[in-house]
Structure 1
Amino acid sequence: MVRYYGFLSPAKRRLLEEVVYIITETVRKTAMQITWRGMYQRLLKIDPLKCVLCGSQMRFTGLKRGYRLAELVLMHEPLARMRWCG
């Protein structure tokens, strides 16, 4: 089976794809955009950006990798005393 020559070659396919859609009168389906927040909401039925303490909307500002266990042990008191909302 030859897949990479002629009409089905990747270079030709990109050029002729629009022509094929016009000739066959088919509508190109666009993929639905799925965000991480939407996947999280569908899977767990909760909003990941809703504050668990006060219920207000949070803003995602970035992602930071977790600390190692030794660092968490050293930080447990400041984390417990941290004031989160209000």
Structure 2
Amino acid sequence: MGYHDHRSNRAKELELSQMELIARILSHVPEKYFKMVRNYGFLSNRLRGLLLPILYEKLKQTVKEVVTPSYAAMLKSYVKVDPYECILCGGRMMFSRFESGVSLYTLVLGLRRLAKLKRVEA
């Protein structure tokens, strides 16, 4: 079994019997009806936003801003297609609204009507 040793910051190998491996895994499973306290104090949902910046300031730590990529950026990096580029004219489309509960047939029918309105001249 391979594992990462955090003390030496290296990957190490360890040979365990099947029963020892199961025993180590089960040691992390709490007893039935055991109440887990995960976020308490400054990590609780109610106080995290208020107290964590103060804690970082006292510890003189800087917090890196996490930038989450948008849907369009992720799709463009994976599929190499810009989802906001019009397939008819090549122009840039803007997201204006989202409709929930509309059937796929209705959406496709609407797109066909739009495609018939504007034809790309070659």
Classify the TM-score, shorter chain: 0.5 to 0.7
Higher relative contact order (CA 8 A, sep 6+): 1
> CA distance change for structure 1 residues 19 and 83 in 2, over 3 Å: closer, same or farther?
same
Aligned pair partner of 2:103 in 58, 63, 67: 67
* Residue 101 (structure 2) pairs with residue 44 (structure 1): no
TM-score (norm 1): 0.60
Tell me which residue corresponds to 2:60.
Answer: 25
Q: Which has the higher strand share?
A: 2
**1:17-58: per-residue Cα shift (whole Å, max 9, x none)?**
223211221111222032111111111111111111221111
> CA distance change for structure 1 residues 14 and 50 in 2, over 3 Å: closer, same or farther?
closer
RMSD: 3.6
Tell me which residue corresponds to 2:118.
Answer: 84
Q: Match for 1:62: what amino acid?
A: R
> CA distance change for structure 1 residues 24 and 79 in 2, over 3 Å: closer, same or farther?
same
Distance 1:23 1:29 in 2: 16
Tell me which residue corresponds to 2:5.
Answer: none
Larger radius of gyration: 2
TM-score (norm 2): 0.46
Q: Which has the higher helix share?
A: 1
Where does structure 1 lack aligned partners over 5 or more consecutive residues? none
Where does structure 2 lack aligned partners over 5 or more consecutive residues? 1-35
